[in-house]
């Protein structure tokens, strides 16, 4: 089984160390790990460092990956789609990137499976340039999956998706992780989706790891106040899953309380 552990990891943008001291327990294939934190905290930087796109201190400890570091696939936040290709061609191109350009039945079967699983058969032969933002985001997920990752780093993969699609895609990703033993790390702003779909959660704040644990352990009123600067409660939905209920901005609430006193 593939495992990944981050040991004192940091990352430079140019000469500036923007991320440091990220040490995690072992994450195993089959697990979904939500990476949460405010804007500019360092989540994308962490993914780029893990994927080997940035330099920095520390180590990415990978074990059991059949493809070695090539088994790590990074789906960036902004995907530059080639507008003249069809959806199907763009997924095929992603699969063949860096390998011989010969397409076998196995390649086509794999892509057919991804297209069906992500419910994009209806747009498979449309040009990528004609798609909506949400459709392009799902195509980008399909392109990443076509590379058969062992460790999958997805940077805000559902940010452009409607609620139904978010739940569909995140459920699918969790099922895929379980079925194929893939370790899936997802940077996500929606804390309720993190509470619903993730097995573990890493909080990045101001270029450091602030907390790591199960989503229930990590997403607390204290975290919401200290890291997100909102006053909030966690309440359970009918399925027993915690939901964040935001009452207001922390500073404003504190100011109102002190004025009332």
Ligand X SMILES: Nc1ncnc2c1ncn2[C@@H]1O[C@H](COP(=O)(O)OP(=O)(O)OP(=O)(O)O)[C@@H](O)[C@H]1O
* Binding interface with ligand X (CB under 6 A): 13, 18, 37, 39-45
Work out the number of other CB atoms within 10 angstroms of the CB of residue 234.
19
Please report which residue ranges of 118-190 form alpha helices under DSSP H. 133-145, 163-180
Q: How far is the CB of 240 from ligand X (least distance, A)?
A: 29
Q: How far is the CB of 204 from ligand X (least distance, A)?
A: 6
Judged by beta carbon, residue 207 or residue 215, the one nearer ligand X is 207
Apex CA 38: angle with CA 184 and CA 174, to 5°? Answer: 20
Angstrom distances, CA of residue 49 to CA of 35, 79, 184, 212, 259: 14, 18, 16, 18, 46
Judged by beta carbon, residue 30 or residue 42, the one nearer ligand X is 42
Judged by beta carbon, residue 43 or residue 136, the one nearer ligand X is 43
Judged by beta carbon, residue 16 or residue 239, the one nearer ligand X is 16
Q: How far is the CB of 136 from ligand X (least distance, A)?
A: 18
Name 46's bridge partners: none
Listed as own residue / partner, the contacts of 250-256 with beta carbons closer than 8 Å and 24 or more positions apart are 250/225
Q: How far is the CB of 192 from ligand X (least distance, A)?
A: 17
């Amino acid at each position: 089984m593939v495992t990944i552990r981050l040991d004192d990891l940091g990352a430079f943008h140019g000469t500036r160390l923007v991320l440091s001291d990220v040490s995690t327990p072992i994450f195993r294939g089959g697990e979904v790990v939500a990476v949460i934190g405010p804007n500019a905290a360092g989540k994308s930087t962490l993914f780029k460092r893990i994927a080997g796109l940035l330099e920095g201190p520390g180590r990415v400890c990978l074990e059991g990956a059949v493809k070695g570091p090539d088994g790590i696939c990074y789906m960036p936040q902004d995907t530059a789609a080639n507008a003249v290709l069809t959806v199907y061609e763009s997924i095929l191109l992603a699969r063949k990137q860096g390998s011989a350009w010969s397409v076998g039945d196995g390649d086509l079967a794999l892509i057919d499976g991804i297209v069906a699983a992500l419910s994009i058969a209806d747009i498979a032969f449309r040009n990528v340039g004609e798609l909506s933002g949400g459709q392009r985001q799902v195509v980008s997920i399909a392109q990443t999956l076509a590379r058969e990752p062992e460790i999958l780093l997805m940077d805000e993969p559902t940010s452009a998706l409607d609620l139904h699609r978010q739940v569909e895609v995140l459920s699918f990703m969790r099922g895929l992780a379980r079925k194929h033993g893939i370790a899936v790390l997802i940077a996500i702003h929606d804390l309720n989706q993190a509470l619903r779909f993730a097995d573990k959660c890493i909080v990045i704040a101001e270029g450091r790891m602030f907390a790591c644990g199960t989503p229930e352990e990590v997403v607390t009123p204290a975290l919401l106040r200290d890291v997100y600067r909102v006053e909030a409660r966690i309440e359970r939905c009918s399925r027993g899953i915690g939901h964040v209920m935001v009452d207001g901005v922390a500073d404003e609430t504190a100011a109102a309380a002190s004025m009332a006193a």
